[in-house]
Structure 1
């Protein structure tokens, strides 16, 4: 799912998509092929407000699947498959689609209103596939920050901002990929959105002592 995220974020994040024929966006085209059932949690059958993907590849609302795991279950509720891990991978792309679908169809979207503290505990490097996918995504996003257009830099900065909220492992991968120098450059960007995303991301990174040292070592405060 992290690899898919790297492919999809360019279209779906930050409420932005490229304009295509008729003035619609790529995201609009995707939404037309979806229906409300695509956004329901398989456990509660309610519209998901915080979708996460588990090791089986199926997506559930965070609160529902956490309740399932905390009850002592270690299987996928939908398939019964025994899981190799109980990692929860936030499905940001799906969440954006759900919000856009609800907005386009007059359906209220209820944010969870809670900080994503569980993600830091469940999302990590316990899966080799997750680890390699995160490293690949980190390298891809840093490349966009360094050599992308201003629009691509802004979207990459927004994506990195989300990832740095998720776990220490994600922050470590991004720092190792060289994210700090281009983020510091974006702090003085002409684009206010780029500035905001860069500053918020640096703040998230500074919460870790090793990351903070790297920021200072690259001229940041």
Structure 2
């Protein structure tokens, strides 16, 4: 007979049962090894989904946790940007799975709150976000419009956004 442990026993980073739980001052609990890897690794590989294509549930859980954690943590947002998380998140924005797309957009919105708005644009965020703005579900379209607005705070991004076909029309039509 196997015992099913509650999800609260799982580390939000590794999604495995915690063997050495640590509660941070923010009130979030993680497995000590996972948080040490996150804090001290130059580029933690478990954030960037290897080529073997993990199941959508794994991506969805990771995006959900990262979106929740980055909502109020500018330090983690900066680290994710420095580690190059944008391409992996943008690939999920392209997903046909609406839940995955919405969570990826939520994380992308959080990342757009920081100073590296030009970097997100350089990674190809505008094209993907405009596509969602034109064709996405109502919830995804709302997040996409907010991302475009956030990215447009930087002067050079305004011209880039305006140069994309249908970007302004999609915003106005929203």
Q: Same fold (TM over 0.5)?
A: yes
Unaligned stretches of 5+ residues in structure 1 = 1-21, 59-91, 98-110
The 1-side partners of 2:81 and 2:138 are apart by 33
1:196, distance to aligned residue in structure 2 (A) = 1.6
TM-score (norm 1): 0.45
The equivalences for 1:56-205 within 5 A come to: 57=39, 93=65, 96=68, 119=74, 123=78, 131=82, 133-134=83-84, 137-165=85-113, 167-169=114-116, 171-205=117-151
Shift in alpha-carbon separation, 1:34–1:193, aligned structure 2, 3 A: farther
Q: What is the aligned counterpart of 2:22 among 33, 38, 42?
A: 38
Whether the 8 Å CA contact 2:81–2:111 is kept in 1: the answer is no
Unaligned stretches of 5+ residues in structure 2 = 29-34, 41-63, 169-174
1:28, distance to aligned residue in structure 2 (A) = 5.0
Whether the 8 Å CA contact 2:9–2:18 is kept in 1: the answer is no
Alpha-carbon RMSD:
4.3
The 2-side partners of 1:161 and 1:130 are apart by 12
TM-score (norm 2): 0.55
Shift in alpha-carbon separation, 1:150–1:205, aligned structure 2, 3 A: same
Shift in alpha-carbon separation, 1:96–1:145, aligned structure 2, 3 A: closer
Whether the 8 Å CA contact 2:67–2:106 is kept in 1: the answer is no
Give deviations 1:47-73, integer Å, cap 9, x for gaps: 36xxxx89x927xxxxxxxxxxxxxxx
Give the total of aligned pairs: 130
Structure with max Cα Rg: 1
The 2-side partners of 1:189 and 1:213 are apart by 23
The 2-side partners of 1:47 and 1:155 are apart by 22
1:155, distance to aligned residue in structure 2 (A) = 1.3
